[in-house]
Structures are given as C-alpha cells and as structure tokens.
C-alpha cells in the first residue's frame, strides 16, 4: 500500500465555508452588542438624573426649604466631578455631561455622547425644579 497516503487537514472549500459562517455570526452579534451598550449608557444618564433629583430633595430637607445653587447641587453628588460652577462630568465616564442653570438651580440637563437617546445638550435628559 505504498500509494495510499491519507490526507490530513481541511480543504480550501471547507475553510471558506467556516469563515463565511463566522462572518455571518459576527454581522449579527456586533450590532446587538452595540445596541446593548447604548441602552446601558441611556440607563446611566437616567440614573445620574435620578441622583441629581435626589440630591436636590436632600438639600431642600437639610436646609429648611432653601433651594441650592448649581454649585451646591453639583458638589453634593459623588459620582460626578464639577468642571465649572454650572457644569460637571462623570467620574467614571467623562462623556457623561451635566449642565445646571438658574440661581437657585432651576434646571439640569444630563447627556452622554455615547448614548442612544440622550446624546447632546439639545437631546438631554432634562430635570426642571420648581
């Protein structure tokens, strides 16, 4: 049996089929992953807005109904870092932006450029205080 040599390995066609299957699976999985990431960033924006709302309520309770200034409000939230009197960014995510307006604080806008919904100051999650 000198001439019967067993071929080991895969043919070029088999390898091409496997590569096509992996490509199709990647084409399906990557958009789903990106969508999930954007949804998580939207949730981060909403959670930060809730933290701002809570900080406002706590300040009112601790100061007998006196409304906080933007500086006082933004300074009282641990997960953000003030970058100015009326602005702050996220400690863990610098793309998270917070803008406060009014004296005392009357409105806060929260957004993140990586979010699906709240991507810019004009499309921000808005909190109005009364």
- The model carries a pTM of 0.73
Predicted confidence (pLDDT) per residue in 5-52, tens digit: 677 888 999 999 999 999 999 888 887 777 788 889 999 999 999 999
Residue 115 has pLDDT above 80, yes or no: yes
Domain that holds residue 19: 13-128
- The answer as to whether 1 is a domain residue is no
Q: How many helices (H) and strands (E) does the chain have?
A: 2, 5
Give me the number of domains the chain comprises: 1
- The answer as to whether 3 is a domain residue is no
Predicted pLDDT of residue 120:
93
- The answer as to whether 103 is a domain residue is yes
- The answer as to whether 4 is a domain residue is no
- The answer as to whether 102 is a domain residue is yes
- The answer as to whether 54 is a domain residue is yes
Q: Is the dihedral of CA 76, 81, 84, 88 positive or negative?
A: negative
């Amino acid at each position: 049996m000198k001439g019967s040599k067993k071929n080991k390995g895969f043919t070029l066609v088999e390898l091409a089929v496997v590569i096509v299957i992996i490509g199709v699976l990647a084409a399906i999985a990557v958009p789903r992953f990106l969508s999930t990431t954007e949804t998580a960033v939207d949730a981060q924006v909403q959670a930060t807005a809730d933290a701002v709302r809570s900080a406002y309520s706590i300040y009112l309770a601790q100061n007998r109904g006196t409304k906080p200034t933007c500086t006082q409000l933004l300074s009282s939230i641990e997960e953000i870092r003030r970058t100015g009197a009326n602005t702050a960014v996220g400690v863990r995510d610098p793309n998270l932006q917070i803008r406060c307006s009014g004296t005392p604080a009357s409105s806060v806008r929260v957004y993140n450029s990586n979010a699906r919904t709240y991507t810019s100051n004009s499309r921000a999650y808005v909190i109005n205080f009364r």
